[in-house]
Amino acid sequence: MSRQSRPRVIVTRPADQGAAFAARLADALPQAEVIVAPLMAVQVLRPERPAGAFAAVIFTSGNAVQAVAGMDLPRRAYCVGAQTARAAAAAGFDAVSADGDAQALLALITAQPPGGPVLHLHGAETRGDVAARLTAAGIPTQGLVVYRQNAQPLSPQATEALDGDAPVILPVFSPRSAALLVAAVGRPRAPLFAAAISPAAAAPLRDLPLIRLEIAESPDAAAMVAAVGRLLQAAGRLE
């Protein structure tokens, strides 16, 4: 491979989130060619709100915030991370961030209980058993599926990059997106690097022929940008 081959970063998040992350990469790492190629498309379900009074809601993704626009909900919102909390605050919620994963979210809610039942608004694919674990801890919690993420194929531009000579970096933000990526990528020609937001998201990637796998130092977009930056440096050292 030529030293002049420009590394490519394939961002496979859903369209809105993918575009936002691609913009952050372009600002921080202009040496990379960023390709936005969503592997999932968000479908909002608009379910009926469960009966009863709730003291707070839980958001474990920004997709859920967007999916509940117009629903009659309490304003207090526990959020898994800062990005989701910002989305919830922009939508009018009194949002607090756990700045971590499901375990950190559970710790936050049990340390600052809302004084009533909680409604967890989430996608069809979810992890962590948040509602069941909170209920077992004495905080009655219901889950409600408000969106699903439908799989879709990689774009022709992404497929072309994977079949090329230049290094390809694959950032992943969830175990499901990682599994879909493994199935879509197969055994490409390009040298592969990957960055995962968590050990759980990294696990499926071990089935790929990776030169290097980075796990973000914290589960947020800024740490993922930093992980991609480290991989760009590593890719630049390839002969």
Same domain, 111 and 133: yes
Confidence of residue 2 (pLDDT cuts 50, 70, 90): very low
> Does residue 1 fall inside a structural domain?
no
- What residue numbers bound the domain in which 70 lies? 43-149
Confidence of residue 4 (pLDDT cuts 50, 70, 90): very low
- Inter-residue contact 32 to 232 (CB < 8 Å): yes
Confidence of residue 238 (pLDDT cuts 50, 70, 90): low
Tokens in use for 227?
């992980």
Q: Please state the pTM of the whole predicted model.
A: 0.83
> Does residue 76 fall inside a structural domain?
yes
Pick the range with the lowest mean pLDDT from 2-11, 21-30, 94-103: 2-11
Q: What percent of the chain has pLDDT over 70?
A: 97
Last residue of a domain, one of 123, 149, 175: 149
Which secondary-structure segment (H or E) carries 132? Answer: helix 130-136
Last residue of a domain, one of 95, 121, 149: 149
Which CATH number belongs to the domain containing residue 65 in this structure? 3.40.50.10090
Same domain, 144 and 162: no
Quick one: which of 182, 179, 174, 221 has its CA closest to 198? 174
89-120: per-residue pLDDT in tens? 999 999 999 988 888 999 999 999 999 999 99
120-163: per-residue pLDDT in tens? 999 998 877 899 999 999 999 999 999 999 999 999 999 999 99
Same domain, 159 and 130: no
Write down the H helix ranges in 175-220: 175-185, 199-202
Same domain, 25 and 60: no
